[in-house]
Structures are given as C-alpha cells and as structure tokens.
Amino acid sequence: MSDCIFCKIANGEIPSHKVYEDECCIAILDVCPVAKGHTLVIPKQHAQDLFALSEEEAAEIMKRVRHVAGLLSDGLKPDGVNLMQNNGAAAGQTVMHFHMHVIPRFAGDDVKINWHMPQADTETLAALCKEITG
Ligand code: 5GP
Ligand code: ZN
C-alpha cells in the first residue's frame, strides 16, 4: 500500500534496523523501544490486521515470530519475552499494517504491560461465554 509506513520499510523506501528477513517477513527494531531489543515482525505483504490474514498467512508469520524470539533470546539473553499484537485503534494499533511486537524482558525491568484485572463472578462469565459461542 503506497502510503503505509511498514510497506515502505519492507520495500526499503524507509530505512530500518533489520534483525531478520526472508520472503515472508522482516523483523526490525522498534524506533520507540519499550525494552532493549523490542522488535516488530512485519509481513511484507500488506494486511491491516489479524482479520485480514488468512489462517495460512497467520501461521507463516507466527513461525517467524518464534524464530525472531529465539534470535533475541540468543543474542540478548533476556529472562523472558512478551508477544503483543494490537488490532484496531481501540486496542492501541497505531500502524495499520499487521505486526507482532516481540519484547525481551529482563528481571526487574520497568516495562509496564499491566492492566487492572477485577475478579469476575461465575454468572457473568457464563453469560459472556453464551454471548460469544451463541
Ligand atoms: P502499534 O501501536 O501499531 O501496535 O505499534 C506500532 C509500532 O511501530 C510502535 O511501537 C512504533 O514505535 C513503531 N513504529 C512506528 N513507526 C516506525 C518506524 O518508522 N520505524 C520503526 N522501526 N518503528 C516504527
Ligand atoms: Zn502496509
């Protein structure tokens, strides 16, 4: 897509720090890293979000995510890794080209990926289950 920043990065129009590339995906260092080694795995073919991917494309991308997480683990020796992926502005997606965040985590780091988790009651969960499954 001509006005998409990740398409431009994928085709080399905009420079990036690439840690991995193959026929399917690139993996680049995030320009605003929340942690050392924060990386984005980006399919070369434009797709807005998870729902624009076929099951096969999603599976292929996930293989690269796993590989890149391994590269980061080998290179940076983190104590853990978060995977994050935002779909839609309401979920925090700011670049409308699918990407997966791979975030190395170090014990005691100050990365904040936390949200308020109020305990739900059984009735609420059961009703929700019905709403989702029909
Ligand atoms: P989102 O909020 O859509 O899940 O994440 C978009 C990510 O892309 C953000 O973490 C942001 O820092 C990163 N980003 C946006 N523009 C660029 C860019 O031009 N280069 C790189 N390397 N990362 C970018
Ligand atoms: Zn794009």
Query: What pLDDT sits at residue 42?
Result: 98
With 90 as the cut, is the pLDDT of residue 2 above it? Answer: no
38 is annotated as an active-site residue: no
d(CA 28, CA 4): 16
pLDDT band at 24 (very low <50, low <70, confident <90, very high): very high
Binding site membership of 73 for ligand 1 (Cβ less than 6 Å): no
pLDDT band at 114 (very low <50, low <70, confident <90, very high): confident
Mind spelling out the 3-state secondary structure of 34-64? CCCCCEEEEECCCCCCHHHCCHHHHHHHHHH
pLDDT band at 97 (very low <50, low <70, confident <90, very high): very high
Give 46 Cα–ligand 1 centroid separation in angstroms: 15
Please identify every residue whose CB atom is under 5 Å from ligand 2, which is an ion.
Answer: 1, 4, 6-7, 46, 97
CB-based burial label for 43 (10 Å; 0-12, 13-18, 19+): buried
What's the chain's average pLDDT?
97
Query: What pLDDT sits at residue 1?
Result: 80
Q: How many residues does the chain have?
A: 134
pLDDT in tens, 26-83: 999 999 999 999 999 999 999 999 999 999 999 999 999 999 999 999 999 999 999 9
Give 46 Cα–ligand 2 centroid separation in angstroms: 4
Binding site membership of 39 for ligand 1 (Cβ less than 6 Å): no
Q: Please name each of the domains of the chain with its CATH number.
A: 5-109 (3.30.428.10)
3-state secondary structure (DSSP) of residue 78: coil
With 90 as the cut, is the pLDDT of residue 91 above it? Answer: yes
